Amino acid sequence: MANLLDGKALAQKIRIQLQQEIQSLQAQAGRPPGLGVLMVGENPASSVYVRNKERACEQVGIASFGKHFPTNITQAELTEVIHSLNQNSEVDGILLQLPLPPHLNAIPLLYEISPDKDVDGLHPVNMGRLVRGEAGLRSCTPAGVMQLLREYEIEVTGKDVVVVGASILVGKPMALMLLEAESTVSITHIKTKDLAKLTCEAEILVVAAGYPKLITASHVKPGAVVVDVGINRLTDYEGRKRIVGDVDFEGVEPLVDYISPVPGGVGPMTVAMLLQNTLWSYKQRVGKNLE
C-alpha cells in the first residue's frame, strides 16, 4: 500500500503556524494581514472555494476584504475595484476568483492587480521572478505541491519528474519550481504522443491535466511518487456526485510508494499557500525585520 500525501493534515499544521506568527506580528505592526477575494456571479464551485478561503482567513487571523459582485458588473467597474484595493494600505493580497462570466476578460483584470499583492502568483512580473529564481509570490497550487513533497522528505533534486498538464495555473509554474529545485523535468499534456511511455519513466509524476482518471496503472513506474492535482466533479448513473482526480487512484495506488488522494491532497494545500502568500506580502509591507 502506498503512503498517502496528506495535504489536509499538512494544511492544518501550516494554519496553526501562520496563526501564531500573525498574532506576534500584528501586535507589532498594529494591524492584521488583509486579503481581498473578488467573486463575480453565483458559480456554485466558486462560491464553495471563496467560502473556504474566507473561513481559512478567519481561522488564522487574516482580515477579509472579500467582495461579491452581480454577474452584470462591467469590465471597467471591476477594474476600478481592483485599483481601489491596490491603493488600500490594509490589503496585502488580492485574488480574482476564476472563472468569470463570459463578458469579462480575465487576463487584463489579472494584470491590473499590483504584482506585490498578486497572491495567486499569476501576474507576468511574478511569473518572471519565478523564471529568474528571484523571491516573489508563487502560484499557490504548485507551491503547495512543493511543500507537500518537502513535508514527506521526498527528494526532488536530480530526480526524473514528469508534469502532465501545461496550464499557466499549474503545469508551467510547477515545472519551473521543480527545475529551480534541480529536478530533470519533462512537460507533457493531453495531446502528447504515447503519454504512457513518458510517464512510466517518471520517478515523480505530477498530474494536472483536468481529465478524470487519465493516468492509469499502465502510466506509472512501480515505486514512483504520484501527485494528483486534478479535481473533477462527476455524476454517476444514480445521480450521486463525487470528486475524482486525474489519476485512477484504485488502480495506481498499489503500485507506487507515495500518492496524493483526491480530495484531501493538493486542494487544501492550495488554500494554505494562499494564506502563506498573503502573510509574505504583509511582511514585505510592514517591515521585513518584524519578528
Residues with catalytic roles: 53, 97, 120
* 32 and 62 Cβ atoms separated by less than 8 Å: yes
- Crossing angle of helices 7-29 and 266-286, in 10° steps, is 20
Structural element, H or E, at residue 259: strand 258-259
Question: By the 8 A CB rule, do 226 and 260 touch?
Answer: yes
Q: How many CB atoms lie within 10 A of CB 43?
A: 17
Q: Using CA atoms, how far apart are residues 262 and 159, in angstroms rounded to an integer?
A: 24
Residue with cell 482518471: 213
Residue 64 annotated as binding? no
How far, in Å, CA of 210 to CA of 144, rounded? 18
Q: Report the SS3 class of residue 177.
A: helix
- Known binding residue 165? Answer is yes
Number of H helices, E strands in the chain: 10, 12
**CA-to-CA distance for 65 and 88, rounded, in angstroms?**
10
Kind plus residue range of the DSSP H or E element containing 251: helix 249-252
Helices (H), 138-194: 140-151, 171-180
**Residue 171 labelled as part of a binding site:** no
Q: Is 139 annotated as a binding residue?
A: no
Question: According to the annotation, is 166 in a ligand binding site?
Answer: yes
Binding residues: 165-167, 190, 231
What residues are designated binding site for NADP(+)?
A: 165-167, 190, 231
